[in-house]
Copies of this chain bind each other. A is one copy, B any other.
Amino acid sequence: MIALLLRDLRIAVRAGGGFGLGLAFFLIVCVLVPLGVGPESATLAAIAPGVLWVAALLACLLSLDRIFALDHEDGSLDLLATAPVPLEGVVAVKALAHWAVTGLPLTFAAPVLGVLLHLPAPAQGWLVVSLALGTPALSVIGAFGAALTVGLKRGGLLMSLLVLPLYVPTLIFGAEIVKRGAEGLSTATPLALLAGITAGVAALLPFASAAAIRINLR
């Protein structure tokens, strides 16, 4: 388990492993949006929460694309399945590793981009909080999607297709938190709901993912 975590992290920080690239993607999307939408700071401020969350979501999505696929191609997934470790654990650990490589950096980088998008100061804190709470859910759900599509060549896009709908609740509550924070309203409810989602997902989805992988392997 620990070994698996370490290995995944090590692979991630190796050349071409894509550490920090999720971050870069996040950054770039946040830069592109104003280029498309236009520089009026009022508009930007209005859409900032939504854009930031969508960007974070896409960054996660893109980076977990091949979370299992690579292991499948080189056969290590077969071997892990026959190894004396529960496949559920494997899935959970891989999701965790992915979060550590993607979600965590995103959370820290978010405020800077908030500034770029003229996100009102009070909302900054809430942005960080909501991301810290929400990104783990993104990773776990994404791992499920990756597990479903592990067998397929070019599964990447199909996966995003499957996963994005699953992301909807997380996105809505996450963005809601930031929006309310910006307007100085109470954020208790969405916070609770978001936390609930993350907890539930982290507790249950790994089993589904493991099942999906087993099916894909035979």
Q: Name A171's contact: one of B32, B53, B62, B153 (CB within 8 Å).
A: B32
Inter-chain CA distance A21–B162, complex, in Å, is 10
Q: Are B164 and A18 in contact (CB under 8 A)?
A: no
Chain B contacts of A160 at CB under 8 A? 21, 25, 28, 62
Confirm or deny: A49 has a beta carbon within 8 angstroms of a beta carbon on chain B.
yes
| Copies of this chain, count | 2
Chain B contacts of A32 at CB under 8 A? 54, 57, 164, 167-168, 171
Within 137-181 of A, Cβ neighbours of B (below 8 Å) are at 152-158, 160-161, 164-165, 167-168, 171-172, 175, 179
Q: Which residues of A contact B (CB under 8 A)?
A: 15-18, 21-22, 24-25, 28-29, 32-38, 43, 46-47, 49-51, 53-54, 57-58, 62-63, 65-66, 70, 73, 152-158, 160-161, 164-165, 167-168, 171-172, 175, 179
